[in-house]
Structure 1
């Protein structure tokens, strides 16, 4: 199988070398990497050039800086990298972040998983962060969900779900849509991916606004959005947090902001969330 790896990068001069070095050190060699320089103002272009000039498997695309919005920015950069390539030449399409370190057997293990399991549509490892000198499981999601920094899609699955959506929640939308189409999302626990930079640290959006917008762009109806908001408020032990999330959600709804999913996809997502709610909270 042949891999196409696309890495959006904005001001990653310190982190990107670790990511690209870990790719060069892979036991599996049949891949092409496109690094999308999203308007970097630091030395990211120089870092990229060191690899593109010495390794034919590395290419670059230069963009003007896009607005720093969670979700849409990174997917926009990814799409700009993807459109420079002929998808027919590849079997697996990866969206990796510019601040991760992969184990040497990462791509080989993912390839074997796809080869041996034709129903696998999305495969990845688990994220680890450094804390007090030790790499520990990030724990920011369940262990059955492939996180955004290291997505590897079987090409047929990627095409069937319509690719990635330029919206907040894109890395949950893909999971729901592919499952609805009969594909499986698989996490391989022994594949530990080191995350150098903690996600969200440079977002300016406030937590309540983030959740309100996230629930809206995920396409959740009011009941599910309010339920999810109550869950987040309970975690924070703050009633006011609930109302702030709802306000952000309702503001999006009032302004009729464009969703990047179809009505049918929205229905699929709501049905999935409703089933999860019944199973987890209502024990049905």
Structure 2
């Protein structure tokens, strides 16, 4: 089955100081074979010319709306993204769309990306959250996959079926929002996944905007906040020792998790959600993977 004629989607993007790369994302979206019903771009206080670029596209395309927020003086990672996303969400009428998209401003992708991804939803009524998979260019210009388990829809570009989005009560305004949404959707019986054949070129490596080492530490803290099993976290940290940034990336993930245990303590998931994700993680450690269509 192909994409239904009346399948409509709206995009929300939260951006800040992306002047050097934002045109790649803008051009990727405006050239989509399946045009968005609406694209709300929330400019979170950019000071580098991003706003002017966005306004140019807003004038040219009637379905683009730019919202300007005051500059808070710094980027607010994690919760700040969802805060801005929710500002854009107020401009979306759910009665007019079938899918809602959270899209970062540092991505480049083919013109059939959203058409192909939405067709996955149309072919599987149980699919609640999905994405393509991000890749970045190495120093020798080859594409390097940013690995993610198949069941995980990646944070930089997520498509939500509107009914699923409503059931999970939207996004949590904190670190780990892009893990908690998957946990909640799965616990409610929805399927979630990424499709590696649908490639997104990440114009900066994942979790690197504030520095890749800080990003890995934040990954570990997020793992604690979202209830990761200690054994799974340890295995994840060891795995990351052998991936860029070698050795230190894995150490920083483990350190972030331990920091969360000592300093933060309060987690963002319920006891039921924590039990659910830890059960899934132990299965993965034992090599038991969910069956995918």
TM-score when normalising by structure 2: 0.82
Unaligned runs of 5+ in 2: 1-6, 242-247, 289-293
Residues 56 and 258 of structure 1: CA distance in aligned 2, closer, same or farther (over 3 Å): farther
Among residues 1, 21, 24, which one is paired with 2:27 in the alignment?
21
Map of 2:141 onto structure 1: 134
Residues 63 and 225 of structure 1: CA distance in aligned 2, closer, same or farther (over 3 Å): farther
Map of 1:262 onto structure 2: 270
Q: Determine whether 1:228 maps to 2:236.
A: no
Residues 62 and 154 of structure 1: CA distance in aligned 2, closer, same or farther (over 3 Å): same
Partners of 1:177 and 1:269 within 8 A in 2: no
SS of the counterpart of 1:8?
A: strand
SS of the counterpart of 2:60?
A: coil
Deviates more, 1:196-205 or 1:91-100: 196-205
Question: In 1, Cα distance between the equivalents of 2:38 and 2:250?
Answer: 49
Partners of 1:126 and 1:143 within 8 A in 2: no
Q: Determine whether 1:36 maps to 2:42.
A: yes
**Which structure 2 residues correspond to residues 7-156 of structure 1 after superposition, within 5 A?**
7-65=13-71, 68-132=75-139, 134-156=141-163
Partners of 1:126 and 1:191 within 8 A in 2: yes
**How far does residue 185 in structure 1 lie from its aligned partner after superposition?**
1.6
Partners of 2:217 and 2:252 within 8 A in 1: no
Between Structure 1 and Structure 2, how many residues are aligned? Answer: 275
Unaligned runs of 5+ in 1: none
Deviations 1:101-140 (A, max 9, x none): 1211111112222222211112221212112453413233
Partners of 1:32 and 1:57 within 8 A in 2: yes
Partners of 1:9 and 1:36 within 8 A in 2: yes
Q: Determine whether 1:158 maps to 2:158.
A: no
Deviations 1:166-223 (A, max 9, x none): 2222222222221222211232332111111223323267467424422321134xxx
Map of 2:279 onto structure 1: 271
Residues 143 and 135 of structure 1: CA distance in aligned 2, closer, same or farther (over 3 Å): farther
TM-score when normalising by structure 1: 0.84
Question: In 1, Cα distance between the equivalents of 2:106 and 2:250?
Answer: 36
Residues 159 and 50 of structure 1: CA distance in aligned 2, closer, same or farther (over 3 Å): same
